[in-house]
Structure 1
Amino acid sequence: MPLHPDIARVLADLPAPPPGPPNPEAMRAGEEAAVPPVSARLPLHSVEDLTARTAAGEVPVRVYTPVEADAYGVLVYFHGGAFFLGSLETHDHVARALAKETGLKVVSVGYRLAPEHAFPAGLEDCYAAVRWAAENGETLGWDGTTLAIAGDSSGGTFVAAVAAMAHDEGFDRITHQILFYPSLDLDFDVDRYASLRENAVGYGLETAGLKPFNAFYLDGGADPADPRVSPIKRADLTGLPPALIVTAECDPLRDEGELYGRRLKEAGVDATVSRYPGANHGFVQNFSWIPAYHRVFEETAAFLGRES
Structure 2
Amino acid sequence: MPTPRSRFQRPTLDSAVAAWEGRVAPLLEDEPADPAGRRRVAARNDDTVSAALGIAPLPTASEEHTVPVDGHPDVRVRVYWPGEERAPAGSGLPVLVYYYGGGFTIAGIDWVSWDARFRVRARDAGIVIVAADYAHAPEQRFPAQPEQCWSAFEWTRAHAEELGASPERMAVGGASSGGDLAAAVTLMNRDRSAHPIVLQLLENPALDLTMGHADMRGIDARMPGVIVRAAGRTLVRQYLGDDTALARLPYASPLRATSHEGLPPALILTSELDPLRGDGEAYARALSAAGVPVTAMRFIGQTHGSLGSTGYVPAADVAHRLVVSELRTLHARGAA
Please indicate the TM-score interval, normalised by the length of the shorter structure.
0.7 to 0.9
- Partner in structure 2 of residue 82 of structure 1: 103
Identical positions, percent: 32
2:18 counterpart of 1:8: yes
Say whether residues 1:22 and 2:36 are aligned partners: no
1:235 shift after superposition: 1.5
**C-alpha separation between the residues in 2 aligned to 1:17 and 1:43?**
27
Q: Mapping of 1:122-137 within 5 angstroms?
A: 122-137=145-160
Indicate the residue corresponding to 2:210 in structure 1.
Answer: 187
Aligned 8 A contact 1:201 1:207 in 2:
no
Q: How does 1:106-255 map to 2 (within 5 A)?
A: 106-189=129-212, 192-193=213-214, 195-199=215-219, 201=221, 206-219=228-241, 223-255=246-278
1:42 has 2:52 as partner:
no
Q: Which structure has the bigger radius of gyration?
A: 2
Question: Which sections of structure 1, spanning at least 5 residues, go unmatched?
Answer: none
The CA RMSD over aligned residues, in Å, is: 2.7
Alpha carbons 1:3, 1:278 under 8 Å: kept: yes
Counterpart for residue 63 of structure 1: 79
Measured in 2, the distance between the counterparts of 1:265 and 1:288 equals: 33
3-state secondary structure, aligned to 2:308 = helix
SS at match of 1:174: coil
Q: 1:183 corresponds to which letter in structure 2?
A: A
1:164-207 deviations in Å (ceiling 9; x for gaps): 11011133232210000001111135xx55x2243265579934
In 2, are the aligned partners of 1:197 and 1:207 still within 8 Å (CA)?
no
Deviations 1:30-82 (A, max 9, x none): 22223247x95231431222222454553211111112544221111100111
Please tell me whether residue 92 in structure 1 is matched to residue 107 in structure 2.
no
Question: How many Å separate the matches in 1 of 2:154 and 2:221?
Answer: 40
Shift of 1:283: 2.4
How far the C-alpha of 1:3 sits from its partner, in A, is: 1.1
Q: Following the alignment from structure 1 to structure 2, what is the Cα–Cα distance between the partners of residues 301 and 197?
A: 30
CA contact (8 A) 2:126 2:328 kept: no
Give the direction of change, closer, same or farther, for the CA distance of 1:203–1:155 in structure 2 (3 Å limit): farther
SS of the residue corresponding to residue 216 of structure 2 reads helix
Q: Which runs of 4+ in 1 moved over 6 A?
A: 15-19
The TM-score normalised by the length of structure 2 is 0.81
Alpha carbons 1:24, 1:84 under 8 Å: kept = yes
Q: SS of the counterpart of 1:171?
A: coil
1:89 is matched by which residue type in structure 2?
D
Cα distance per residue 1:194-243 (max 9 Å; x no partner): x2243265579934421123221121657111111111111211100010
- Superposition pairs for residues 268-279 of structure 1, below 5 Å? 268-279=291-302
Distance 1:9 1:208, change over 3 A: farther
In 2 relative to 1, CA 151–202 (structure 1 residues): closer, same or farther, beyond 3 Å? farther
Amino acid at match of 2:12: P
CA distance in 2, matches of 1:75, 1:140: 12
- The whole-number CA distance in structure 1 between the counterparts of 2:319 and 2:149 is 23
Q: Residues 253 and 88 from structure 1, CA distance in 2 versus in 1: closer, same or farther, beyond 3 angstroms?
A: same
Residue 265 of structure 1 is aligned with which of 258, 276, 288?
288
TM-score with structure 1 setting the length: 0.88
Report if aligned partners of 1:157, 1:182 keep a CA contact under 8 Å in 2. Answer: yes
Q: Name the SS of the counterpart of 1:177 in structure 2.
A: strand
Deviations 1:119-159 (A, max 9, x none): 11011100110000000113311133321111000000001
5+ long unaligned stretches in structure 2: 1-10
- State the distance in 2 between where 1:165 and 1:18 align: 38
Q: What do the CA deviations read for 1:89-124 (whole angstroms, capped 9, x no partner)? A: 222122123212221111110111111112110111
Q: Return closer, same or farther for 1:173/1:220 CA change in 2, 3 Å cut-off.
A: farther
Displacement, 1:302? 2.2
Bigger Cα displacement from structure 2, 166-175 vs 107-116 = 166-175
